Structure formats: structure tokens, C-alpha cells
Amino acid sequence: MIGPRLRRVAALTATLAAAGSLLVACGDDEQSSVDYLVDARVRSLNVNTRDGYADGALMALTRVLPGFSYVGPQGQTVADRDVGTATVQESTPLTVRYEFTDGAVYSDGHAMSCDDLLLAATAMGGKVKGFDASTNAGYRNIDKVDCKPGARTATVTFASGFTFGDWSSLFGAGSLLPAHVVGRLAGVPDVVGAINRKDSKALAKIATAWNTGFGLKPGGEIDPTTILSSGPYRLESYTTGKGLRLVANDKWWGRKPALGDVTVWPRGTDGAAALADGRVEVVDSGDLSASDALAGRETPITDRGSARDIAPVSVTNLVFARTGVASDILVRRALASCMPRNQLARAHGSNGLVWNLRSAAPADTLGPSLNAQFGRRYPRSDVARARGLLEQRPVDANGRRAKPVIRIGYPAGSTVDKAIVDTIAQSCVKAGITVRDASSPDFSVSSLGSTVDAVILSGDTFAASGTTSGVPAVFALYPGDPLNLSGFRDGTVRTSINELVATSSDSGRLPLLRSIETAAWDQLPSIPLFGTVRGRESSGVSNVVVGLGRSGTGWNMDRWGGA
């Protein structure tokens, strides 16, 4: 149901946009112009670490830390000329010149420079130890970055013979952290010099500062000298009861945000209470009950085969650990056999369809036809087959086979993930497999292989995810990439992914996708389940445009409520 506050916001929107003023209530009961509920966790300003990326924090921070591009509403890469321009100088080797816009500064007044770009390339390139980057996709193939400290331009040269079709997504929203802050936190005043000299001691300090220096938590102080912004909004405060408050950044050089502030309600705050009392106007969450509540839908869809879902750019999947009980391929195959993938898809998946691909989502032009080709493997529960596979395991000294216990993890509070685990557990117990729910409020992908044997991911995060290019998601199968949580290693897959990211034609991509999926189904580093369904609704706020990619609907929040 639409509460009275939503009607107030709708009535005031035009006035606020014309006057450029802030919506502030009387007394101490200050309220935001717009309240935005997401299922992402925001535990750091750095969305490029493994946890920051997996948490989906970019949903909240896209307009706080913009880059040379952003993920648009369809999951496409869009150039962000407010920050600067990226121009190809040569194609062989690929050479790109980056130039920051005049006036581009952080919220502390410090100019954005090539120092920030060099730091990003170093942190995510995978060649310098110590950086906890979420993925090295694209960055690993950078040969050099020509940067004079403080300069507003940089030239990035990629390795000879390398082609990366999605190069424009590099140095995008969230990737550019202030190098001068990292240097201060690390005690290394000359970050560029340390990188160019390959000073191992200084680089270790820089890596630690990059990994840990931008932490955020509800109730913690927002240090304006460290938690900076280079976008239309900056962070003002963060509490459990009042959410993550973003306010207009007075150092922003571009078009001013239409509304002066936005409150984001991430996972771990009192977003459910804010929704219940009518404060929330925009929802983007995997918890469909939240969007149903905002839209006033009292009867949820229980059979998604009757839904008319937009084809998603991400796939919900179960990713196995490389160690422990899940390292036994017979156990993985047994679990794949006994789980009812058709039942899971019907209850939770996009249009009720079982999805069989890891390397292509339903929105991919090749997805539907290729999906059918891999549909014969583990389509539904086959308990007898699962038992037979388990019986092939070797016996111990007492002539017994231990019954496998598989712990599946995810951030506590996800109703869909809980239902997935419960359904698998009920089906697979008949085959002799015990499945345990190992969710927790602070669950991290680093728990895989230690406290859990498998993790449920929506694409490659716990929140909004995916791009139309499929990068970096496909690198979850690339040997050695941090996004490859399962530790899957296959030389053919490595070659196929390298060729895939260099290929734009469907005719060239098709055999490569087949090669990747054939190897992945043979070895089962993960099990795709269904196209991810997310609830996205808004009420009483203009210019809200659903975002299918990993920036979520917040991709244009600075235009919400504007003319």
C-alpha cells in the first residue's frame, strides 16, 4: 500500500526539482527526499575487494564513486563523460588514453588524477601480491600505465596480442579510489613512485590500506578525510536505525542531483521497519516480498512459470568449495542428481525455467538456444542415481562410507536462499546426503572451504549482479582469477574465455560457450539453477529506471525526482 509519506513525496517532487532545495522535516525527525531499500551490504567504500564486490555495495555507491563508465539500466557499459574520456589511440597493441574532466575533484577538494587510475590497475591487475581484489578480469592484461604523479591524463597499454572487447568497462564506477588517501593511510606519500619502483615494502602497506582502509559499519563515524566522494552524492552518516544517508556533494562539478539527499537501507539496517511504516519509495531486492509490499501486491507468485519476467543478466548458482567434502566429484554429482532443479526454478526462477548455463544468462542472445542443449544433465531429482554415485566412493578401514554432510552458506535473511537450501535438504536426505543451512548475518565468500562447503550466489554476488557482456561473471571459471571461488582449473576453459572476451559475433561466441559449459558440467565446480529474479519497484518518485545489472536501480539515483 502507498503510505501518506509517499503521496507527500510525489506532490513535492516538482517543487523540489525547481527550487533545488532539500526536503527536511521539522524538529529532530529529519527525513530523506527518497528512501531506497536494497539487499546489498555496505561494509566498505571499496567495492573492489572480494567482500565488497560480493556484498553488492555498488548498488548504493555508484553515484558516490563514479568512473570512466557505469553499468546502465540494461546491464550495458555506458561512458561517463562527467568524469572524463577514454579514447583508443592504437588497436595493436590496445592503447587507451584516459583524461579526467577539468574540475573533477574528490569531496576533500583533491583533484582526481592518473595516480588513482594507476592504483586501480595495480590493485586489480593480479601481479602485485597483497591486494584482495575481487577479479583481475581485463586488468591482468594491462602491460603498463604511463602516469606522471598528479597528471590529469594517463595512457594505458595492454599486452601485445591481447584483445578485450569490454575494455570500456575498466576503471568504471567504484573502481577509482583516492590514491592520496591510500598513500596517507599506508604512510607512503609517493604512491606512483612506489608502484613504478616496485618497492615491495611500500606496496605491501599500500595493499593493506586499499584492502582495509575504507571500512564502513552502521553506527561508525564517517571520516570526511577518508570516506570521500567523487560523485554527485557523498556519505554523511550510517546507522542501523536511519540507514546510509547520502547528501549532495558540494564539490561535484557536474549536473547537480535533482534531490539533495537519498537514504539507502542496506542489509543490516532497519530497512524492513522503514518499509513497513511507509518511508521506502524505491526497492531493489532479491526478497520479492519487499517489492510486493511497496506495490501493494497481497498475493505473491508461487509458480513463476506463469510470470512474465524480464530476461535477467545473472544466474543464481551453487558454487562448491575446492576442499572438504565438496572436493569429491562423486559427492558433487550426487548432490546435483538429488536436488530438484526443476522445482527450484518453478518456485524462484525467471519465468520458471531451469537454467543450465554459467557463461551466458537468459538475456544473452545465445542463452535460450544454448540452454536447451545442456538441459539433459540433472534436470530433476533422481535419488536412485545419487545413491548409486555415493556407493562408488571408497570405504574406510571399517568398510563404511561416511554419509556426506554439505553446509550451504549465504547471508542470513534471504528468504529465497533459505527456501533453496530447505528444498535441497528435503530432497537429498532421501539419497543419504545431509544438507545444512549455514547462513549467518556476516557471511562472507571467504567462508567457502572453511565453515561452508558451498555458497549460493546470484550471479557472482549476494545482491544485484551481471552485465550484458557477461564480464566479469565468466571469470568465475577462469583459472587463478579471484572470482573463481571453486578453484576450478581447466586449460581449455582458460583458452576459451580468453577468446570469448575478444569475440563479439554470436557465431564466434557459440563454440566457445559450448566448450566452457561442457567442461564445467563434466567437473561441476558449480551448479546453475535459474535466472535470478529480483523485485524492483518504486512509488511516488519520478525518473526511477530499473537497473538489471550490478549497479541495480541506483545507477541514476541523482536524477530521481527531477524533471
Shared domain for 197 and 131, answered yes or no, is yes
User: Residue 437's domain spans which residues?
Assistant: 315-395+403-532
Are residues 221 and 336 part of one domain? no
Residue linked to cell 547471508 = 411
Same domain, 373 and 481: yes
Report how far residue 356's alpha carbon sits from residue 514's, in angstroms, rounded to the nearest whole number: 11
Residues 44, 90 share a domain: no
Amino acid 454 reads A
Cell 549460493 belongs to residue: 456
Pair (357, 494) in one structural domain: yes
**Number of C-alpha atoms within 13 angstroms, CB side, residue 198?**
4
- 236 and 286 fall within a common domain: yes
What are the grid coordinates assigned to 111, written together?
583533484
pLDDT tens digits for range 249-283? 999 999 999 999 999 999 999 999 999 999 999 99
The verdict on 556 and 485 lying in the same domain is no
CA 424 to chain CA centroid, Å, is 25
Say whether 139 sits in a helix, a strand or coil.
helix
Which residue has 611500500 as its cell numbers?
202
Do 167 and 254 share a domain, yes or no?
no
Q: Give the model's confidence band at 532: pLDDT under 50 very low, under 70 low, under 90 confident, else very high.
A: very high
Q: Is the pLDDT of residue 9 over 50?
A: no
My answer on whether 444 and 343 are in the same domain is yes
Q: What pTM does this model have?
A: 0.94
For residue 224, the model assigns a pLDDT of: 97
Around 205, how many Cα atoms within 13 Å sit in the side-chain half-sphere? 17
Distance CA 177, CA 116 (A): 6
- 154 CB burial (10 A radius; 0-12, 13-18, 19+): buried
Letter for the amino acid at 350?
S
What's the CA gap between 276 and 352, in Å, rounded? 29
Q: Residue 356: helix, strand or coil by DSSP? A: coil
The alpha carbon of 520 is separated from its chain's Cα centroid by a whole number of angstroms, namely 22
Task: Please state whether beta strands 535-538 and 434-437 pair in parallel, antiparallel, or not at all (unpaired).
Answer: unpaired
- Residue 88 burial (10 A CB sphere; 0-12, 13-18, 19+): exposed
Confidence of residue 526 (pLDDT cuts 50, 70, 90): very high
d(CA 147, CA 150): 8
Q: Indicate if 336 and 441 belong to the same structural domain.
A: yes
Cβ(432)–Cβ(390) below 8 Å: yes
Average pLDDT over residues 199-203: 98
Say if residue 277 is exposed, middle or buried (CB neighbours under 10 Å; 0-12, 13-18, 19+).
exposed
How does pLDDT run across 477-502, given as a tens digit for each residue?
A: 999 999 999 999 999 999 999 999 99
Residue 359 sits in the same domain as residue 412: yes
Provide the domain count of the chain.
3
Is residue 409 assigned to a domain?
A: yes
Residue 245 has pLDDT above 90, yes or no: yes
Q: What does the alpha-carbon distance between residue 34 and residue 544 come to, in Å, rounded to a whole number?
A: 11
